Amino acid sequence: MRLAFAGTPEFARVGLERLHAAGHEIALVLCQPDRPAGRGMKTEAAPVKAYALAHGFAVAQPRGLRLDGRFADDAAAARAALLAAAPEAIVVAAYGLILPTWLLELPRLGCINIHASLLPRWRGAAPIQRAIESGDNETGVTLMQMDAGLDTGAILLVATTPISASDTSATLLARLAAIGGELAVRGLADAAAGRLQPRPQPELGVTYAAKIAKSQAAIDWREPAAVIERRLRAFDPFPGARGTVGGETITCWRGGVRAASPGSPAVPGEIVAAGGGAITVACGDGWLDLVELQRPGGRRMPAAEFLRGRAPAAGARFELPDAPGDAAI
């Protein structure tokens, strides 16, 4: 099938790679404009663009797609490129721009989205992180026929996967990206054969996965240890979960939950033990054993190695946000 593909990050690159490997003709690739990234803030090509250029695909990077919007010239150029490419379908994965009506209606088979959740749960920008953060036992990928709403289109195909107690956003993203790529290949084969049967999303069970903000990285130790532990995994690798103790801001990457000692006078944020391969912090409910940490400008390291350097001792306290959930970094 002759396709256009719209996506930007690694999750989308895997989908593009699978479609290419399946023999589809990639007539045009849309991705977001290059932006500074990494510790050195160098401008680099996003994963989708890098893959497209490496394989000789035409690339367009409009700043917007509304023909009457701020970037109308970019939108008009993208529309001309798409008309010239004449795709039968446009496959979309984590693109980052809202598709206007003119684009949704352009290809014969419309626009098909690879979405990393079991819709209608976790519509929106950060479904992988929010699923882990909320303690979901299962997630998956929904292949969806796009419409003008926010992830509200008809469901085409679904594949599920469990969320393990050790999954981070990075590990879950890698698994869902592979699932999504294969689902897109299967969906296009079904579309070509006339086997796809779109079904409306259920009206019940709608949740929204808000974009992850850096300000959410600040740990509120008044929350239950189980909630904080899930957030550590949900925010790995971005934005990380951070706490400040003794004037030093530490990124906490991995932890384990355990019950507080009976009758312990420890208050939320207090370090109740530091040794034996963990820094144990009192939380609103239970204790959290921090077992992987990182100092500013340093690397991730096991707690045992972290404690060999300048490290907080038992009795020290992590600072608490002024109010739950609203501290900034």
Chain centre to alpha carbon of residue 271:
31
- Amino acid identity at 236: D
CA neighbor of 30 nearest in space, from 66, 67, 75, 71 = 75
pTM of the model: 0.93
Chain centre to alpha carbon of residue 288:
25
DSSP letter for each residue of 59-78? EE--S---TTSTTHHHHHHH
DSSP conformation class of 282: E
- Write the pLDDT tens digit of every residue in 153-189: 999 999 999 999 999 999 999 999 999 999 999 999 9
- What's the chain's average pLDDT? 95
- Write the pLDDT tens digit of every residue in 75-134: 999 999 999 999 999 999 999 999 999 999 999 999 999 999 999 999 999 999 999 999
Mean pLDDT, rounded, for 41-70: 95
Q: What is the pLDDT of residue 325?
A: 45
State the greatest distance between any 2 C-alpha atoms of the chain, in Å, as a whole number: 72
- Amino acid identity at 21: A
- What is the location of CATH 3.40.50.170 in the chain? 2-209
Q: What is the pLDDT of residue 329?
A: 31
Fold annotation for 214-308: Methionyl-tRNA Fmet Formyltransferase; Chain A, domain 2 (3.10.25)
Residue with tokens 């890098």: 50
Mean pLDDT, rounded, for 259-276: 94
pLDDT band at 326 (very low <50, low <70, confident <90, very high): very low
Buried b (16+ CB within 10 A) or exposed e, 38-74: eeeeeeebbbbbebbeeeebeebbbebbbbeeebeeb
List CB contacts of 257: < 8 A, sequence separation 6 or more.
225, 226, 229, 286, 287, 288, 289
Mean pLDDT lowest among 89-98, 267-276, 319-328: 319-328
- Amino acid identity at 66: R
User: What's the CA gap between 90 and 12, in Å, rounded?
Assistant: 13
Dihedral, CA of residue 138, residue 141, residue 142 and residue 146, to nearest 10? 130
User: What's the CA gap between 28 and 18, in Å, rounded?
Assistant: 16
* CATH number belonging to domain 2-209: 3.40.50.170
